[in-house]
Amino acid sequence: STALDPRDPLGFDDLLSDEDLAVRDTVRAWCADRVLPHIADWYEAGQLPTVRELARELGSIGALGMHLHGYGCAGATAVQYGLACVELEAADSGLRSLVSVQGSLAMYAIHRWGSEEQKQQWLPGMAAGEIIGCFGLTEPDHGSDPASMRTNAKRDGSDWVLNGRKMWITNGSVAGVAVVWAQTEDGIRGFVVPTDTPGFSAPEIKHKGSLRASVTSELVLDNVRLPADAVFPEVRGLKGPLSCLNQARYGIVWGALGAARSCLETAREYSITREQFGRPLAGFQLTQAKLADMSLELNKGLLLAWHLGNRMDAGTLRPEQVSYGKLNNVREAIEIARTSRTILGANGISFEYPIMRHANNLESVLTYEGTVEMHQLVIGKALTGQDAFR
């Protein structure tokens, strides 16, 4: 028999259909062509200079709102969407974040909770990447506990008037539309805010040490006046935003493994060519133990992602199950990044190699979409029936 493929030791690809493989190859080729040659420079510069062009290209390959149906969306399976996330994040977590926020947060919110008019107005342009969306839930003083948010929307005649601040909002400064969650006298509700509305501004957050090739912004809402039909008609309370987070977390379950794959592959190849003490690093047992453990966790994570993907496609995926995936796969991905870094020694800290960039990015991925602790509390509650959040 042929040698085991070090890039697919468990035969994961055998689980995938021809269509799945085609989606993966399309996104992988796009990343290789349009992202990988530039990403290290963008990262060092702390910019995504061609973000609008990238968004349109991602739209043209069907990657925006990929798993949604109708309104110009690709209607792919959850597994296919996951495979796309792996490829995007193998390039950079910032690219995957752009796509996650667009498709799983902003577009999903409108698709799931919007009126027919809201869907027709926004979704086709967003699917095409002509309109970038953002999703404003987190505030400067309210992150893990969004129920305590201060941003509010009050009625003035039939209009709504929004005031408040959102923080750490991906795509904020480049968005044409913002989905903003705010307190109303009826509880938390979602608003579709065109970003050219007077009183809306989105200053970019600088000096990030992570996700540097991603736009992150503050949203300032200063008497932003919206018509009556700017609100999501039905949904009230945290159920609205949490339903969207569940979608984005699902993508991260897959995506984080892309960053891990890039790190492990870099370390494996490096260990084979780099010699110390007269032989390749790969020939030392301690290096092999690292490579074996990393490969094990990467491939276990893929099988977990695949399992959750099939449940999502079958309509049986529970939010607590997404917590298992997000917690495990991001935590293992960052561990793989750090261990890979050690194999490269000093070269591991250089941006000439992708590892340090991925490791830094994964710090954000570990925190956003529910921190490790929040997912432990979700799982803890599911296991015990005890709510330990407050």
Query: What's the distance, Cα to Cα, between the start and end of the chain in Å?
Result: 56
73 lies in the site for ligand FAD, by CB under 6 A: no
User: CB of residue 369 vs ligand FAD: minimum separation in angstroms?
Assistant: 6
Our CB check for ligand FAD shows the closer of 138 and 271 to be 138
| Among residues 143, 194, 199, 319, the one that binds ligand FAD under rule CB under 6 A | 143
138 lies in the site for ligand FAD, by CB under 6 A: yes
Q: Return the structure tokens found at 291.
A: 């490579």
Cα(99)–Cα(344) distance, rounded to whole angstroms?
30
| Among residues 17, 60, 120, 144, the one that binds ligand FAD under rule CB under 6 A | 144
Q: Return the structure tokens found at 297.
A: 């966790």
User: CB of residue 184 vs ligand FAD: minimum separation in angstroms?
Assistant: 18
Cβ contacts of residue 175 below 8 Å, gap of 6+?
106, 132, 133, 134, 195, 202
Cα(19)–Cα(288) distance, rounded to whole angstroms?
35
Cα 303 to the chain's mean position, in Å?
A: 19
173 lies in the site for ligand FAD, by CB under 6 A: no
| Among residues 168, 191, 254, 353, the one that binds ligand FAD under rule CB under 6 A | 168
Nearest CA among 97, 183, 199 for reference residue 137? 183
Site string for ligand FAD, 205-224 (x = CB under 6 A): ------x----x--------
Among 80-88, 121-129, 155-163, 166-174, which window interacts with ligand FAD (CB under 6 A)?
A: 166-174
Our CB check for ligand FAD shows the closer of 143 and 319 to be 143
Cα(64)–Cα(67) distance, rounded to whole angstroms?
8
Cα 289 to the chain's mean position, in Å?
A: 30
Sign of CA dihedral 142, 335, 11, 262: positive
Q: Could you give the residue numbers annotated as active site?
A: 369
Our CB check for ligand FAD shows the closer of 23 and 134 to be 134
137 lies in the site for ligand FAD, by CB under 6 A: yes
Site for ligand FAD in 84-123 (CB under 6 A): 101
Number of residues that bind ligand FAD (CB under 6 A): 19
SS3 state at 206? coil
Cβ contacts of residue 140 below 8 Å, gap of 6+?
165, 167, 218
User: CB of residue 389 vs ligand FAD: minimum separation in angstroms?
Assistant: 5
Among 220-228, 231-239, 350-358, 365-373, which window interacts with ligand FAD (CB under 6 A)?
A: 365-373
Residue that has been written with the tokens 């000439």 in this structure: 352
135 lies in the site for ligand FAD, by CB under 6 A: yes
Please give the helix or strand (H or E) that residue 200 lies within, else none.
strand 200-201
Residue 180: half-sphere exposure toward Cβ, Cα within 13 Å: 36
255 lies in the site for ligand FAD, by CB under 6 A: no
| Among residues 295, 368, 375, 378, the one that binds ligand FAD under rule CB under 6 A | 368
User: CB of residue 4 vs ligand FAD: minimum separation in angstroms?
Assistant: 37
170 lies in the site for ligand FAD, by CB under 6 A: yes
Our CB check for ligand FAD shows the closer of 129 and 287 to be 129
CA geometry: angle at 42 spanning 39 and 47, to 5°? 140
Name the residue with the smallest CB distance to ligand FAD.
143
Give the CA radius of gyration of the chain.
21
| Among residues 66, 74, 169, 282, the one that binds ligand FAD under rule CB under 6 A | 169
Give me the long-range contacts of 3-10 (CB less than 8 A, separation at least 24).
6/268, 6/295, 7/265, 9/295, 9/299, 10/299, 10/302, 10/303
148 lies in the site for ligand FAD, by CB under 6 A: no
Site for ligand FAD in 297-356 (CB under 6 A): none
Q: Which residues bind ligand FAD (CB under 6 A)?
A: 101, 135-138, 143-144, 168-170, 211, 216, 364, 367-368, 371, 373-374, 389
